[in-house]
Structure 1
């Protein structure tokens, strides 16, 4: 479908979006788009990304009712457990809107949908040196940027990243450029050593991980990973928690390392800018920082599978049935297709 860039045309344009209909199932549904208001843009999606951890929880209907409002995505429609239109890694091109935005490649926190309308204030321009496909990681890099602002690692610090999944891997990719004294990726899966070697950083299985860290970033979303993070943290140091446990309960031996060595566990929830930067950075500026960081080709490492938008319902079922991989990319048809 081709959409004219002519200004002043307000009739709705039909689009399609992916909806989770019930636990473990989803479908493409037609969407009627509104006409453009001032300072709004019509975006044609090029790629969207599937964040396996969070979207698996949504797909399986496991979002705890107590935090359902907090887990509400910026442009979500419907409510948990469903039907719900969910997602937050979208890269497209502006087809209509303010003249200075026409033709720009942009990132937004929009669900999986082929065309959509948003205020331009909610679009993040993608730098010219960042490929559109790689730019789907903008929202994931934003999570890592927030954690770095939260922790503030210093020159010569000893740092561990516990959990080598998508968030942990992206965080380690950024950290590898810091002037640290030590950086170690820790994971129970020995295959994650390949990722560490590609990044040029140290790798350790949990039983071999080095202790006395200045900062530990926990990204494994597991009880064992958080317990290990407390063991690796040095006296009076911080464990920065990036995991979302959803409906999983966590049991920790707080009578051991936590109290005896005066440790701190600090949440790095991305809904708000990390407190050390909250008065000097906006959410939009944090996204711009993340988009700029994606000029590094190393981030292509985390784009590990792909499907066509029309096949998304079946592809997600298969994706969530098997472990492994990082970000799943959804490719959208070109207008001529």
Structure 2
């Protein structure tokens, strides 16, 4: 069987990153060979992974579909890849597909592991598929209704996606809250109201927390109205979080609900198996507003130092796109200068 060569990004103790060469067998029956066009760093999760902050208890639940190696050690990790099918069935040949695959320039996977990008979704924007699926799942968990006052704390990629989707609910009054005033411009481009924490509206029907900080979660409890729900979307890895549950938490009968993309709500899971939810998420990315979340691309060859920079505590990067080969920076669909 013929063998091909590929290069992949690996996290190694230090922590640091390096590109390693790998051998690929030709795709067999029911498999596809994909050449990567773009991938993305999912900053929240990949920061914890890169810096070795995954609790032992979560090693199995946190595994990415095509991860190799072990957390907090040497591993290949990632789940936001868009590539073009070079070999496979005629229905997929030459098509751009999304796959939950790590940062690697070419790979072979089962045909069922890839999903063609819908018409109108550029390859570069398609890397937001996993983040959009997380946002969709959070809205399912929260079940907002017409006219809700909704707060979203944390203007990172997932928070912005949640706010943009919620703002499309008729009559919904949505506010995106962040400590960085520069995020106001991003919110305007998405058509969402922005406020700094001191000016955030209280008495909300729903509050989504996505900031990844204990301070953000504490504020979420403040903004929630009586008998309201707080949807916790941040994951803290090995960090402990302290909350003021001894003040008005009980008298106001607040609900704190965890939302995790790997576990759809039971009444949804019964009908949304397979890749139906991901297909929905990819279709939503046809909206050109979401181009505003994409940072200028970096070359795959630069990923070892870019990963260290993007996952540092000082980073304010949104969605860092990784470009493979000679792909055009904007894939012909850039909206960033708008």
Q: Is 1:43–1:93's contact at 8 Å kept on the other side of the alignment?
A: yes
- After superposition, residues 173-252 of structure 1 pair within 5 angstroms as 173-252=164-243
Shift in Å, 1:137: 0.4
Shift in Å, 1:257: 3.1
Correspondence for 2:335: none
Alignment length (residue pairs): 326
Correspondence for 2:16: 25
Q: Is 1:160–1:184's contact at 8 Å kept on the other side of the alignment?
A: yes
Structure 1 regions of 5+ residues with no counterpart?
1-9
1:271 has 2:257 as partner: no
User: Mean Cα displacement is larger for which, 145-154 or 275-284?
Assistant: 275-284
Could you say what secondary structure the match of 1:100 adopts? coil
Q: Is 1:272–1:283's contact at 8 Å kept on the other side of the alignment?
A: no
1 CA distance for matches of 2:147 and 2:308?
44
| CA deviation vs aligned residue, 1:239-272 (integer Å, no higher than 9, x gap) | 1111111111100111123211111111111112
- CA gap of 1:283–1:150, structure 2 versus 1, over 3 A, is farther
Could you say what secondary structure the match of 2:296 adopts? strand
Shift in Å, 1:204: 1.6
Could you say what secondary structure the match of 2:45 adopts? helix
Q: Structure 1 residue aligned with 2:280, among 275, 289, 292?
A: 289
1 CA distance for matches of 2:200 and 2:215?
14
Shift in Å, 1:334: 4.7
Correspondence for 2:334: none
- After superposition, residues 281-320 of structure 1 pair within 5 angstroms as 281-320=272-311
Correspondence for 1:160: 151
2 CA distance for matches of 1:231 and 1:275?
29
Correspondence for 1:6: none
Correspondence for 2:161: 170
TM-score by length of 1: 0.93
- After superposition, residues 112-127 of structure 1 pair within 5 angstroms as 112-127=103-118
Q: Is 1:42–1:94's contact at 8 Å kept on the other side of the alignment?
A: yes
1:64 has 2:58 as partner: no
1:333 has 2:317 as partner: no
Could you say what secondary structure the match of 1:240 adopts? strand
Shift in Å, 1:56: 1.4
Could you say what secondary structure the match of 1:140 adopts? helix
Shift in Å, 1:159: 0.6
| CA deviation vs aligned residue, 1:156-207 (integer Å, no higher than 9, x gap) | 1111101111110121122222213311111122222222222222222222
TM-score by length of 2: 0.93
- CA gap of 1:241–1:276, structure 2 versus 1, over 3 A, is farther
2 CA distance for matches of 1:257 and 1:72?
38
Large movers: runs of 4+ above 4 Å: none
1:324 has 2:335 as partner: no
Shift in Å, 1:142: 0.5
Could you say what secondary structure the match of 1:27 adopts? strand
RMSD of Structure 2 on Structure 1 (CA): 1.5
